[in-house]
Amino acid sequence: MADDSVRTDADTARAQLASHGWVSRRSEAFRHLPPPALEQWLHQPGDEPTGSGWTVQDGGASAALSVQRLSALDAQQRAQLLAGLPHPGDGEAAPFAWAHRALCTEGLRLNVRGAAAQRLHLHHHSRSAAEAPLLVLDVEEGAHCTLLETHAFAPQAAQNLQVHIRLARGARLQHLRVVDAGAGDRIAHHVHATLAADAHYQQATVATAAAYHLQRGTLALQGTGAQADTATLALAGGDGHQIDQQAWTRMDAPRTRSSVETLALAQHGAHAVANAHTRIAPGADEAAVRQRLAGIPLAGNPRLVLRPHLEILHDNVQAAHGATWGALPEDALFYARQRGLEEASARALIIEGMARALLERSLGAQPEGALMLAQWLDGGWLARAIATHLVPETGARHG
């Protein structure tokens, strides 16, 4: 059981939700895919899961990594866990943050330091019908880290995850996130990243649709020369499957660079939304931003919504955005069939090639990121996910 101060903190969060309400259907960010009701994200007090859902594999120099597993049910550990994290606030996604404070029972804090590149694999497996795990990662000045973050879920899970990443001056993080949601799951992942001067963050997210699936990234480029490149591959393959990808970027300093790329692949009655919003602040001289959103309906009548948006408050910048919607390339399908592939296998091969190209553009520029991505791709998860979610009758695979 949690002590009185912890219970008071959680009750305060619940009171905030009761007084201010859940995410409004009039919310611009959530207009196309409103989240399920608040009750689905909270369990009753006293039903907290036990143990930690995180598994940490350290593939580098362990002396450069510190790991803290902290209970949010202990007052002292809760204070350590939440230290330095932003207040939930009152923005459009704030109800999720308040619900997280009300429910959070445990979290993981990692600190990476030193000149040697650190290789990490974090895996989280859900342990209850409703949970709110927390991950905090600090990469110190000049440090470099590659991180593979994977998620698996119990059937009918509801998970409200908060991830906070802080990159100090000159730090680099290459981050591959794989979120393997099930058809009945309700998933909301919020990734907050803050970049100091000359820090570089590269992130690629691969996510499957569910009853509800939100992937929301909030990036703050606060230091001169900071750079963030993010890419999302969304796979939505069945009736009632939903996925909402939101990328919110603030470029607050000169010579910052930002790119956002999304590829949404959907079929039948699935619903996929891709949002990209980038704000270039006054004084962000020579900032450069690029947004590229693409949606491909594969079969049936899926609903695809692509929403690029730029808010530019400074003159001396470079900015480009675009959204494209279209079918698989017919010439590629034709040539694949000419080589003896049946149609389902040809489609799977082309879809996988497009997905690999997206991920390689995001993580393949640096050797460490390219190696992490190649090793993950060699494991076959992507091919299996495409076969399961998008091409249910692939037949024999070739090549």
Q: What is the pLDDT of residue 397?
A: 37
Query: 372 in a domain, yes or no?
Result: no
Query: 250 in a domain, yes or no?
Result: yes
Q: What is the pLDDT of residue 395?
A: 39
More confident residue, 5 or 208: 208
Query: 22 in a domain, yes or no?
Result: yes
Q: What is the pLDDT of residue 117?
A: 81
Per-residue b or e along 164-173, where b marks 16 or more CB atoms closer than 10 Å to that residue's CB: bbbbbbbbbb
Q: What is the pLDDT of residue 392?
A: 56
**Is the pLDDT score of 261 beyond 60?**
yes
- Helix, strand counts (H, E) of the chain: 7, 19
Amino acid letter, 63: A
Closest C-alpha among 184, 185, 251, 187 to residue 222: 251
Query: 254 in a domain, yes or no?
Result: yes
Q: What is the pLDDT of residues 332-366, one digit of tens each?
A: 777 677 776 777 888 888 899 999 999 999 998 88
Amino acid letter, 314: H
Determine the distance from the C-alpha atom of residue 2 to the mean position of all C-alpha atoms in its chain, rounded to a whole number: 30
Task: State the residue for tokens 């342990």.
Answer: 127
Q: What is the pLDDT of residues 125-151, one digit of tens each?
A: 988 889 999 999 999 999 999 999 999
Query: 268 in a domain, yes or no?
Result: yes
**Is the pLDDT score of 396 beyond 60?**
no
Q: What is the pLDDT of residues 21-51, one digit of tens each?
A: 999 888 999 999 999 999 999 975 555 555 5
What average pLDDT does this structure show over 288-309?
A: 95
**Is the pLDDT score of 296 beyond 90?**
yes
Query: 56 in a domain, yes or no?
Result: yes
**Is the pLDDT score of 2 beyond 70?**
no
Whole-number mean pLDDT of the chain?
91
Is residue 60 within 8 Å of residue 117, measured between CB atoms? Answer: yes
**Is the pLDDT score of 19 beyond 70?**
yes
Query: 352 in a domain, yes or no?
Result: no
Closest C-alpha among 301, 297, 391 to residue 349: 391
Q: What is the pLDDT of residue 394?
A: 39
Characterize the bridge pairing of strands 65-71 and 106-112.
antiparallel
Give the separation between CA 162 and CA 148, rounded to whole angstroms: 16
- How much is the pTM? 0.94
Task: State percent of the chain over pLDDT 70.
Answer: 93
Q: What is the pLDDT of residue 48?
A: 57
Range of the domain at 182: 4-327
Pair of tokens at residue 349: 């091969």
- Write down the H helix ranges in 203-300: none
Give the separation between CA 190 and CA 165, rounded to whole angstroms: 11
DSSP type of residue 21? -
The domain tally of the chain equals 1
Query: 36 in a domain, yes or no?
Result: yes
**Is the pLDDT score of 60 beyond 50?**
yes
Bridge partners (DSSP) listed for residue 185: none
What average pLDDT does this structure show over 167-188?
A: 97
Give the separation between CA 148 and CA 234, rounded to whole angstroms: 17
Q: What is the pLDDT of residues 215-254, one digit of tens each?
A: 999 999 999 999 999 999 999 988 999 999 999 999 999 9
What average pLDDT does this structure show over 275-290?
A: 98
Task: State percent of the chain over pLDDT 90.
Answer: 79
